[in-house]
Structure 1
Amino acid sequence: MEILKAIILGAVQGLTEFLPVSSSGHLVILGEILGRELGGEGSTAQSVLLHLGSWLAILIVFRKDILKLVWPRFDVRSFGLLFLASLPAAIVGLTIKKLLPGAQESWIETNVLQSPWVACFGLMFTAAVLWLAERKRELFVTFENARGKQFWLVGIVGVAQMVALLPGVSRSGSTICMALMLHWVKSDAVKLSFLMGLIAIGGAGLIEAKEISHIEPAPAAAGFVASLVFSLIGLAGIKLVVEKEKLKWFGVYTAIAGVAALGYFMVFPPN
């Protein structure tokens, strides 16, 4: 049963990390419904490995773009954009994990980051963002031509990623949508989002890496493989969704999912 749960959670992580529907929200809600809190010691380790599968998928899909950042010459501009965009979430995440006293960190984890209630409202917020992003606007900003105001405004995409630390708020959805609102072309908005994700997921994994020793090998392996496979599917899907301008339909889904989960927890309150 634990292996089956790990596969289910791996599939959910893989698809929802990249499709704009919030992996954190789905893992928190599904973890509660399955009777498994993802905030415990062993489950934190499981979550780290699930995210590692998604991290590896980004490396595979964007390997050529990543190589171009360092070869044949170091791309200072692109690294500057990624650093600026990653800074807000990094500051908040490190503050929570490393600087707050244990009691305060535990309160934030329990009452915010692992809260099914927050996840429900986060999904509804994601729905609104996805609908707003579908408005027609001129798209012209790329990694190559981002200069002046366009360069510094990428920090706003970073703020969107910071907000996505809340469960239910889609990291991919919020960052891609914010980039589109700032006139980034579709392909580069997707690339920016997932290269940021490479840093964010990798950084979070390093912080929690010590927890990996607290997990059973078989469920860990099953969850990791499921996460990797479904992450590859999710990455292919989000590229198509953005190009075909279908983000709003995921907004419909997240709105329904948020309301349905809220109704469920009102009838069956979480532990």
Structure 2
Amino acid sequence: MDFFQAIVLGIVEGLTEFLPISSTGHMILAGHFLGVEQDGDFVKTFEISIQLGSILAVLFVLYHKLFKGLDIWLKLCVGFVPTGLIGFLAYKYVREFFTSQTVAVMLIVGGIIFLLVEYRQQKSQKIKKDDITKITYKEAFVIGLCQCFAMIPGTSRSGATIVAGLLIGFSRTLAAEFSFMLAIPTMFAATGYDIYKNLNILDSQNLAILFVGGVVAFISALLSIKLFLRFVSRFSYISFGYYRILIGVIFLFYFWQIHA
């Protein structure tokens, strides 16, 4: 991987990390077209590690809600427990799912789920919870449990947690905000563990590439988070459902063609 590829992938990561369309999926697909798949373990570590840049963007944008009190951090820790435990136990198996075909299928499946959940949302007459301080520990744990599905590339961490929040009864904006916040402990843990397991491949060149990708991801994530929160405060997630299905079908067809 070179610096140009790192910059492109950093942009893709930052723009898609907090959208319910699978940043890892888009990174794998973008890497395929950039010709970096053959680089093996470092590419997988890069795709996970530059998420740190995106995390810093969350802290920057939502600091006024994150630091309202200790309670919100305790709830984020509770939400992280299922992912942390299952992720630790399944780490070596999860990396085997990082394939383009898996991404394409899960994009389609996730898109269908979003359409069904939004249809349910629009039919429901219940008042939606819209205050982050009112989230219970049980709700935080359930959302964290659903986040485990995102270990399958193409599912989308934000997609899984947003869907869980909507089903519980959160407003679209609150579901997105809590999803973003829950990414903080999750990504720190995933990145730290992956770097620790792959220290042997992180020479000075690779570290420089990681740094560049992380900085680019931070900048693009800032823009993405602000625009996304503004969007969901006014519109539904239906467009993301259709996008997932469309892009998944396109890539399934593409991979079928090149392997035919």
Q: Which residue type is aligned with residue 142 of structure 1? A: D
Match of 2:246 in 1: 256
TM-score (norm 1): 0.83
Residue 145 of structure 1, aligned match among 134, 138, 150: 134
Could you tell me how far 1:256 is from its partner in structure 2? 0.8
Residues 13 and 193 of structure 1, relative CA distance in 2, 3 Å threshold: same
2:206 is the alignment partner of 1:216: yes
Runs of 4+ in 1 over 6 A off after TM superposition: none
Q: What percentage of aligned pairs have identical amino acids?
A: 26
Counterpart of 1:130 in structure 2 is: 114
Aligned length: 251
Letter in 1 for 2:90: I
Q: Can you give the 5+ residue segments of structure 2 that lack an aligned partner in the other structure?
A: none
Query: Which blocks of at least 5 consecutive residues in structure 1 are unaligned?
Result: 98-104
Q: Which residue of 1 aligns with 2:103?
A: 119
Q: Relative to structure 1, is the Cα distance of residues 67 and 240 closer, same or farther in structure 2, using a 3 angstrom cutoff?
A: same
Superposition map of 1:192-211 within 5 A: 192-210=178-196, 211=198
Tell me the residue number matched to 2:215. Answer: 225
Match of 1:11 in 2: 11
Q: Tell me how far apart the structure 2 counterparts of residues 39 and 165 of structure 1 sit (CA, whole Å).
A: 21
Query: What TM-score do the two structures reach when normalised by structure 2?
Result: 0.87
The match for 2:95 is: 109
Structure-2 change in CA distance of 1:218 and 1:193 (3 Å): same
The verdict on how the C-alpha distance between 1:81 and 1:216 changes in structure 2, with shifts beyond 3 A counting, is: closer
* Whole-angstrom distance in 2 between the partners of 1:131 and 1:156: 21
User: Aligned partner of 2:104: which letter?
Assistant: C
1:14, 1:230 within 8 Å by CA — same for their partners in 2? yes
* Cα distance between partner residues in 1 of 2:66 and 2:133: 15
> Which moved further from structure 2: 25-34 or 118-127?
25-34
Rounded to whole Å, the distance in 2 between the matches of 1:201 and 1:49 is: 8
The residue matched to 1:201 in structure 2 has which SS?
helix
Partners of 2:7 and 2:212 within 8 A in 1: yes
Higher helix residue share: 2
Q: Distance in 1 between matches of 2:166 and 2:75?
A: 15
User: Are the equivalent residues in 2 in contact too, given 1:38–1:44 (CA < 8 A)?
Assistant: no
Structure 2 distance, partners of 1:221, 1:38, is: 21
CA deviations over 1:136-183 (Å, ceiling 9, x no partner): 232026333345xxx424333122211011111121122112212211
**What displacement does 1:108 show?**
4.3
Q: How far apart in 2 are the matches of 1:91 and 1:143?
A: 25
Question: In 2, Cα distance between the equivalents of 1:172 and 1:39?
Answer: 27
CA distance in 2, matches of 1:68, 1:249: 32
1:101 corresponding residue in structure 2: none
- 2:77 is aligned to 83
